[in-house]
Structure 1
Amino acid sequence: MPVNIPDLLPAKSLLEEENVFVMGESRAVAQDIRPLKILVLNLMPLKIKTETHLLRVLSNTPLQVEVELLFTSSHVPKNTPQEHLISFYKTFEEIKDKHYDGFIITGAPVELLEFEKVTYWEELCRIMDWSKTNVTSTLHLCWGAQAGLYYHYGIPKYEMSAKLFGVFEHFVNDPEEPLLRGFDDTFWAPHSRYTDVRRTDIEKVDDLILLSDSVKAGPYIALSKDRSQVFVTGHPEYDKLTLGEEYHRDKARGLQTKLPENYYKNDDPSQKSIVRWRSHAHLLYSNWLNYYVYQSTPYDWG
């Protein structure tokens, strides 16, 4: 089944070129079906790319998914055209009285700031509080996961001695959990961040279950016992080129950036990148939509 998106959203044509099944809103309204309503709070600077990344992985499911895009009104994005935001995004004030089956909070390049110093932190807290009553399940990604763990459970983040950058091996701690259904015992996932959360802090919280972690990348997937809050500290939605584009961008800026680990063939940036995480990414999002959203949400929020 398709993911339903606005007809003119740039991601639509890009995904159609990849033979990803997407459906424009004009066709979707003619179908008598109750799609899953998914809200995406996009905090990433390159919003159009992030839209494409997320829509790609959300499309790999037999469920019909209708996506709405949200941005913070307390921070004006600098890297996305205003006409794109006006055409395709809503503010929290516009959607606060609605209910959604699922909600995704993306990462953001602000992890070296204290949470309270982030310009939109107060607004984000209001949104996360709202999600507890208006959303069936919320999926937090990268910095969004750190922000969610801090807001809901007081778990701090820690600055690392060097940026965690690359694709890393992870382990399944609970193969019986539906979110991990179909996972191999070990799998790979991309990370790009300067801060982390610690396993010992997560394990102190009785309401949290640590489903997956990594020797190099630390805790990866945690969730609340009622499955309404899911925290993923990496970027499983990244496409083949994302880490490479980040590496070359930082090099062009004169930054001392290291090569992304386990990304290029033979660790040679002149060679192609090796995608090790695509199957895991699609399975993670499909399981989240099926087990934590579709099978848990009310048919009619009333």
Structure 2
Amino acid sequence: MPITLPQNLPAFGVLRNEGVMVMAQDLASHQDIRPIRIGLLNLMPKKIQTETQFARLIGATPLQIDFQLIRMTEHETKNTAAEHMAEFYRPFQDVKDEKFDGLIITGAPIEHLPFEEVTYWDELTEVMDWTQTNVHSTFGVCWGGMAMAYHFHGIPKHMLDQKAFGCFRHRNLTPSSPYLRGFSDDFVIPVSRWTEMRADEIAAAGLKILLGSEEVGPCLVEDAGHRALYIFNHFEYDSGTLKEEYDRDVANGTPINVPRNYYPDDDPSRMPQNRWRSHAHLLYGNWVSEIYLTTPFDMAQIGQSSTDLRA
């Protein structure tokens, strides 16, 4: 089954050319199917790149996905055309009376700021509280995941002495988790962040760490009480995303290390190889499958109970 997207959204053509099943919204509306409704609260500056990355992963499942793009209400992006935002995104205040099977809250390049100093923090806390009544399952990514862990549990983020930047080996700590079906014991994940959340503080909050690294710490955390997953690293990244970040910093004269274990022989003149794509599809496919298995058929019941409908 396909993911439904506006036919003129840039991601539509990109994904169709990659062989991902995409369907125009007009055609999807004539199918007698209850699609899985997933929202993307996109906090990243490069909105088009980010929406394409997540649509690629969500659209690889055998279910029909109704993919909705959401933005913060008052915050205006400086890196994406206003016409694109007006045509494809709805502000949170316009969707807060609606129900969603899933919601992804992306990262944002503001990790140096205390959470409360982020200009849209008040509205974001409203979003996070809203997920408890209007969203069946929420996936917080990088800063978005840290924001959720802080908001719901008071877990602090800690600044690193140097940026965690590159492809780092991770271990599957909970092979029995339904979110890790098909996962290898050992694999790499792209990492790009200046902050971390620590294992002992996550465990003290009663949360379960599913994936972790000896070098860069916890990666994927399950918050069953809030029907949420938090991932601090970037399975969704394209093959060249770390290269783009590195080239940008070099061009701007910003001190930056060569991303570790990313280029062959750590040589930036060589083309990086993607070694995480299959696990990215596994994780997001498993998340969508769990939503499908547990979400109410009647969307009005979403948020009324955390009962596992498979029981």
TM-score of the aligned structures, taking structure 2 as reference length: 0.95
Whole-Å separation in 2 of the counterparts to 1:20 and 1:258: 34
State the distance in 1 between where 2:39 and 2:108 align.
Answer: 17
Residues 1:278 and 2:277 aligned together: yes
For residues 122-180 of structure 1, the C-alpha deviation after alignment (integer angstroms, 9 at most, x for no partner) is 11000000001100000000000110100011000000000011111111111001001
Percent of aligned pairs sharing the same letter? 47
The question of whether the paired residues in 1 share the 8 Å contact of 2:69 and 2:88 is answered with yes
Equivalent residue for 2:2?
Answer: 2
Aligned residues: 300
Q: For 1:255-294, what per-residue CA distance to the aligned partner results, in whole angstroms no more than 9, with x for missing partners?
A: 1111111111111111110111101100000000001x11
What is the 5 A alignment of 1:1-302? 1-206=1-206, 208-226=207-225, 228-291=227-290, 293-302=291-300
Instruction: Tell me the amino acid that sits aligned with residue 288 of structure 2.
Output: L
Q: Pairwise CA RMSD of aligned residues?
A: 0.9
Cα distance in structure 2, aligned partners of 1:193 and 1:284:
20
Q: Which amino acid aligns with 2:217?
A: G
SS for the counterpart of 2:138 is strand
Contact 1:210 1:219 in 2 (8 A): yes
The alpha carbon displacement at 1:84 in A equals: 0.5
Quick one: distance in 2 between partners of 1:29 and 1:198? 45
CA offset at residue 24 of structure 1? 1.1
Q: Which amino acid aligns with 1:274?
A: Q
Equivalent pair of 1:7/1:26 in contact (CA under 8 Å): no
2:306 aligns with none
Code of the residue aligned with 2:256 in structure 1: it is: T
SS of residue matched to 2:202: helix
TM-score by length of 1: 0.98
* SS of alignment partner, residue 201 of structure 2: helix
Instruction: For structure 1, list consecutive stretches of 5 or more residues without a partner in the other structure.
Output: none
Moved over 3 A (4+): none
Amino acid at match of 1:266: D
User: For residues 227 and 94 of structure 1, what CA distance do their matches in structure 2 show?
Assistant: 23
Query: Once the 2 structures are TM-superposed, how far is the Cα of residue 26 of structure 1 from its aligned partner?
Result: 1.5
In the alignment, is the contact (CA less than 8 A) between 2:132 and 2:226 conserved in 1? no
CA pair 89-52 structure 1, distance change in 2 beyond 3 A: same
Q: Residue deviations 1:56-91, cap 9 Å, x none?
A: 111111111110011112211000111101000001
Mapped to 2, the partners of 1:7 and 1:222 lie a distance apart of 35
Partner deviation per Cα, 1:166-223 (whole Å, 9 max, x = no partner):
11111111100100111011111111110000001001012x1111110111100111
| CA–CA separation in structure 2 for the residues paired with 1:37 and 1:44 | 21
